[in-house]
A and B are shown apart, each in its own frame.
Chain A
Amino acid sequence: GESVGLHLPTLSVQEGDNSIINCAYSNSASDYFIWYKQESGKGPQFIIDIRSNMDKRQGQRVTVLLNKTVKHLSLQIAATQPGDSAVYFCAEKQGNYQLIWGAGTKLIIKP
Chain B
Amino acid sequence: DTGVSQDPRHKITKRGQNVTFRCDPISEHNRLYWYRQTLGQGPEFLTYFQNEAQLEKSRLLSDRFSAERPKGSFSTLEIQRTEQGDSAMYLCASSGRTATGELFFGEGSRLTVL
Contacts and interface: CB of A to CB of B under 8 A. Distances in A.
* A, B bound: yes
A99 B67 CA distance: 19
Interface in A46-90: 46, 49, 89
Contacts of A103: 40-42
Contacts of B44: 101
Contact of B102 (A46, A89, A102): A46
Contacts, number: 61
A45 B93 CA distance: 10
A14 to B, nearest CB: 25
Task: Please tell me the size bucket of the interface on B.
Answer: 20 to 34
B61 to A, nearest CB: 12
A49 to B, nearest CB: 5
Nearest to B46: A98
A43 to B, nearest CB: 3
B42 A46 contact: no
- Chain B residues touching A, majority SS: loop
Contact of A104 (B42, B103, B107): B42
A102 B42 contact: yes
Interface residues of A, number: 24
A46 B102 CA distance: 6
A98 B41 contact: no
A26 to B, nearest CB: 15
Interface of B: 4, 31, 33, 40-45, 48, 55-56, 58, 91, 93, 99-108
